[in-house]
Amino acid sequence: MVKRILSFAVAISLAAALLAGCGEKKQEEAQTSSSSAASTQQVQPSQEPVNNYGDTGGLKLPVVDKPVTVSWMLAGETQNANDKAVIKEIEKRTGVKVDVQMVSAANYADKSKITLASGKLPDIMEGVPASEINALGTQGAFAAINQYIDQLPNFKKLYVDENPWVMKSYADDTGNIYTWPVYGLNRDVNHGILYRKDILDKNGIAEWTNTDEFYQAIKKLKEIYPKSYPVASKTGQYIFRDWSAGWGMGGDETYPMYYDEGTKLWKLATIQPEFKAMIDFMKKLYNEGLLDPEFMTDTQTSWTAKMTSDDKAFVTYDWIGRLDMFYNQVKDKNPGYDLRYGNPIGPTGLNKSLPKIINFGLVVANNANKEAALKMMDYLTSPSGSELISLGIKDEEFTIGSDGKVTYPELKDLPKVDISAISDKYGCFYETMYLNVDRRSVYFNYTEKEQEAQDKIVKANKLAPLDPVLRFTDEQASTISDLQSALDKSGVEFATNYIMTKTYGDAQWNEWVAKAEKSGSKKLEDTYNEAQKKLDAAK
């Protein structure tokens, strides 16, 4: 996920549009409230004791004393979303009818910009840029979640008690938080070094445990398969980010900026000695024919052909789903094909970490439905609501066996029950409605090879520390917008030339560092470190 930092001017223009629509919005809210109360399609919250829906985290169901309809705009492709069983079940349990306004993912970014600029907001929407949320919230566009914290026990538990940094990093200067985070979506390990175990085994080469052993292994492969380039890549410029955790430079969404745990300072990766060490290693591989000459330009099709052959490429960096995907593609012709997850490379021996908490720009409009919307979202954050939105309705759509595994009887004939299958069938896992993802979800149904990847990294404690999540002022965001993208682009261009040009060495490196300083690298680092100081000082 790439951190989106937009200019302060954009935030102000959108805020003006939102405020301009306030008068119309109030009239519409009154009309909506009146029509909602009269709707015969609503499920009337029962005054009798409710069914046992499991652990609601202390939230009392239903969450409203009269029917309310809440609109929720999100990205997705499911047809007839509001007719799905899970969406109807939310109303049955909470008394809040969710009107899902699903927009194709391809069009969502444009639609959300238009919606924000119009000032006519749905009750809930996702995708508001982090740099704009607090500015628009302060102007009155969004509900301040913290003001209702005593009614939201699950939000309080996750983001006030257990992860207090959320309030520091996401709230505005007055302590108001306008965005509802998503918890637990990321796998522990989702990307990393993949290698052809069958080829290594065939040639008596052991999997590496450090960078020198990695080098010796691929050098041996080059000797055995002289026409090969053992290390392939299809991620273009992102190869530098993907390898960076192994050299102690983070590698998450703020890259090329990262937080140095040793010095407690934010740094620009592409001018650090660690970065030079990494590209020196890449240069060595390139010069010896161990790194594919097309490492910056290879296409998905070409890369796939190389990684599924037996004599062209044997190591890459990619998604763990590729472990089984490639096998399924070639198993008829090559049943012994065995792509596996490898140990990280680089002096730290660490893999990049994925955050447990993500800001998807999920906000609640500051209107008459805000309390109902917030309470309904708090239910979806509870263990009970998490199960509903992640898995479906227990004993109706899914069952849990004695081994603790979730199965879907109606989907037993599908070759694979994945997120799209349960989303299309039942209304589970709509984007950002999974506010607290149940780890029993199909997303965490690892294959044997994917589980090996999790175990190899997690059990051996090979995950790099996560960088702090900073909150920037409008001025700081503007500075970052002006400097970071240009410095990143220049850094990639230099690194590519450094690797591919034999005459490049220390002199060219020093010239690049000096150029980066003239282009504002120190100002960029200072901006991040100023924000870090403010975060450290926050109570």
Per-residue pLDDT in tens (0 to 9) along the chain, 539 residues? 333 333 333 333 333 333 334 433 333 333 334 333 333 344 444 444 446 899 999 999 999 999 999 999 999 999 999 999 999 999 999 999 999 999 999 999 999 999 999 999 999 999 999 889 999 999 999 999 999 999 999 999 999 999 999 999 999 989 999 999 999 999 999 999 999 999 999 999 999 999 999 999 999 999 999 999 999 999 999 999 999 999 999 878 899 999 999 999 999 999 999 999 999 999 999 999 999 999 999 999 999 999 999 999 999 999 999 999 999 999 999 999 999 999 999 999 999 999 999 999 999 999 999 999 999 999 999 999 999 999 999 999 999 999 889 999 999 999 989 999 999 999 999 999 999 999 999 999 999 999 999 999 999 999 999 999 999 988 999 999 999 999 999 999 999 999 999 999 999 999 999 999 999 999 999 999 999 999 999 86
pLDDT score of 32? 39
Query: Pick from 312, 226, 240: which is nearest to 276 by CA?
Result: 240
Assign 477 to helix, strand or coil: helix
CA 73/CA 63 separation, integer angstroms: 21
pLDDT score of 18? 38
Cis amide leading into 62 (omega within 30): yes
CB 33 within 8 A of CB 366: no
CB 470 within 8 A of CB 531: yes
CA 420/CA 185 separation, integer angstroms: 15
SS3 string of 342-380? CCCCCCCCCECCCCCEECCCCEEECCCCHHHHHHHHHHH
pLDDT score of 47? 41
Query: Pick from 441, 396, 433: which is nearest to 417 by CA?
Result: 441
The type of residue at 371 is: E
> Which tokens sit at 187?
């796998």
Strands 68-75 and 96-103: parallel
> Which tokens sit at 62?
């239903």
CA 388/CA 50 separation, integer angstroms: 16
Q: Is the model's pTM score more than 0.85?
A: yes
Query: Pick from 386, 215, 361: which is nearest to 288 by CA?
Result: 215
- Please list the residues that pair with 394 across neighbouring strands: 398
CB 295 within 8 A of CB 302: no
Query: Pick from 21, 95, 89: which is nearest to 62 by CA?
Result: 95
Query: Cα 213–217–218 angle (5° rounding)?
Result: 125
